[in-house]
């Protein structure tokens, strides 16, 4: 039989209202009373009815998270961060897969699930400003990623230009001078454009040419795309001494091609990825990567949704989440790397 607030109140010898105040974490409960009620909650195994709690507030207790590529390890890890952050506030997350298609991103952003969700966190790829400018304000919307729509919505991102410059600066500091970039998608992806811009700016600042012959565009962002891009660069007869890849799967695909051609990482060609997904920690040569704070991105996105729901937010927030460059074997070599597999 399900334990009720009434059962807990009788066990603790207090009113139902007092138990409710403890369960809902109201601040005016004394520490002694909170401890007394909590002992009864633990003894009886009481679990709050979250659905009823949300319904009393006119909410569903569900936040939607719409992502372009659920098969991409970065988005899988980001989804886990959002789910954990939402659970801390007694919310569950409904996952939507847009495939990065504009029509699907429009459908999601226009609130086709508005009756079953309290808020939407969206990571768009192809969505345009005009697609959002006439959006009905049915549920709060938080945007993730680097597309700048200049509209009145909360937006969580990292500084891709600065992060890319940090990656290239690391390679320059190791004495690398011919640094390729793989993963450009000219005119189609703002994150890719920003990372190419960072690559270009850091090389220029070091007095080196930003050679477009070392920039490889791709159709996608997976392992095969990275492998194909690396092959195309090598087939031109060029042999860079370093590669900065748009993301980790592409970097790992590039490393596979280098291995097949008898080139050593990092002795012949050093590699840096982006996103710091778990797969890179366990590659045969562990991957140096730009590591966005995915936990912070998830937490900030959920907090923005809840602030809107609670009427606590006024002006839209544009927040830079932190990042760091994690140096591993693909640039430092096995002997010098301090970050072992699994870190």
Query: What tokens does 80 get?
Result: 């886990």
* Predicted pLDDT of residue 50: 53
- Assess if residue 54 is contained within a domain: no
Q: Do both 179 and 272 map to the same domain?
A: yes
What is the residue-wise DSSP string for 86-108?
A: HHTTT-EEEEEE-TT-HHHHHHH
pLDDT tens per residue, range 270-301: 999 999 999 999 999 999 999 999 999 999 99
Q: Do both 226 and 264 map to the same domain?
A: yes
- Could you tell me if 265 and 330 are in contact, meaning their C-beta atoms sit under 8 angstroms apart? yes
- Assess if residue 231 is contained within a domain: yes
- Assess if residue 121 is contained within a domain: yes
| Tally of domains in the chain | 3
| Alpha-carbon 308 to chain mean position | 21
- Assess if residue 101 is contained within a domain: yes
- Assess if residue 341 is contained within a domain: no
**Beta partners for residue 67, in sequence order:** 97
Q: Do both 299 and 154 map to the same domain?
A: yes
Helix (H, G, I), strand (E, B), or coil: what is residue 69?
Answer: coil
Q: Do both 166 and 232 map to the same domain?
A: yes
Residue 32: which CATH number?
1.10.260.40
- Assess if residue 340 is contained within a domain: no
* Predicted pLDDT of residue 338: 58
Tell me the C-alpha distance between 245 and 170, whole Å.
14
Residue 80: which CATH number?
3.40.50.2300
Query: What tokens does 293 get?
Result: 């704070």
- Assess if residue 53 is contained within a domain: no
Residues of the chain scoring pLDDT < 50: 52, 54, 340-343
Q: Do both 200 and 270 map to the same domain?
A: yes
* Predicted pLDDT of residue 240: 97
- What range does the domain containing 34 cover? 5-48
- Could you tell me if 342 and 328 are in contact, meaning their C-beta atoms sit under 8 angstroms apart? no
Helices 248-260/73-87 angle, 10° precision: 150
Query: What tokens does 194 get?
Result: 């920003």
Q: Do both 150 and 170 map to the same domain?
A: no
**Beta partners for residue 66, in sequence order:** 96, 122
Q: Is the pTM of this model over 0.85?
A: no
Query: What tokens does 170 get?
Result: 């690391």
Tell me the C-alpha distance between 124 and 122, whole Å.
6
Helix (H, G, I), strand (E, B), or coil: what is residue 200?
Answer: helix
Q: Do both 245 and 134 map to the same domain?
A: no
Q: Do both 65 and 144 map to the same domain?
A: yes
Q: Do both 281 and 192 map to the same domain?
A: yes
- Could you tell me if 330 and 306 are in contact, meaning their C-beta atoms sit under 8 angstroms apart? no
- Assess if residue 215 is contained within a domain: yes
Q: Do both 215 and 297 map to the same domain?
A: no
Q: Do both 38 and 10 map to the same domain?
A: yes
Helices (H), the chain: 5-12, 16-23, 31-44, 50-56, 73-87, 102-109, 129-133, 160-173, 190-205, 223-235, 248-260, 278-281, 294-309, 329-332
* Predicted pLDDT of residue 68: 92
- Could you tell me if 254 and 330 are in contact, meaning their C-beta atoms sit under 8 angstroms apart? no
């Amino acid at each position: 039989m399900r334990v009720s607030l009434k059962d807990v109140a009788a066990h603790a010898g207090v009113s139902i209202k007092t138990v409710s105040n403890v369960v809902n974490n109201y601040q005016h409960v004394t520490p002694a009373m909170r401890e007394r009620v909590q002992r009864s909650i633990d003894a009886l195994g009481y679990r709050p009815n979250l659905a009823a709690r949300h319904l009393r507030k006119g909410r569903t207790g569900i936040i939607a998270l719409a992502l372009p590529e659920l098969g991409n390890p970065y988005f899988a890890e980001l989804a886990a961060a959002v789910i954990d952050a939402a659970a801390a506030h007694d919310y569950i997350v409904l996952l939507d897969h847009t495939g990065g298609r504009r029509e699907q991103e429009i459908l999601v952003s226009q609130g086709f699930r508005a009756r079953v969700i309290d808020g939407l966190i969206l990571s768009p790829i192809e969505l345009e400003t005009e697609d959002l400018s006439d959006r009905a304000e049915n549920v709060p919307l938080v945007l993730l990623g680097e597309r700048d729509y200049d509209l009145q919505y909360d937006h969580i991102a990292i500084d891709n230009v600065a992060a890319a410059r940090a990656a290239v600066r690391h390679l320059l500091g190791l004495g690398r001078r011919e640094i390729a970039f793989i993963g450009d998608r000219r005119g189609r992806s703002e994150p890719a454009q920003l990372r190419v811009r960072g690559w270009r700016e850091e090389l220029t600042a070091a007095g080196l040419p930003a050679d477009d012959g070392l920039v490889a565009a791709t159709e996608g962002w997976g392992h095969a795309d990275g492998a194909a891009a690396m092959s195309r660069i090598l087939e031109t007869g060029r042999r860079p001494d370093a590669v900065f890849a748009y993301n980790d799967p592409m970097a790992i695909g590039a490393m596979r091609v280098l291995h097949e051609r008898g080139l050593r990482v990092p002795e012949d060609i050093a590699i840096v990825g982006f996103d710091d997904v778990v797969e890179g920690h366990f590659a045969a040569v562990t991957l140096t990567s730009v590591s966005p704070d995915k936990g912070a991105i998830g937490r900030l996105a959920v907090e923005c949704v809840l602030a809107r729901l609670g009427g606590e937010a006024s002006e839209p927030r544009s927040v830079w989440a932190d990042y760091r460059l994690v140096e591993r074997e693909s640039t430092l070599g096995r002997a010098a790397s301090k970050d072992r597999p699994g870190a």
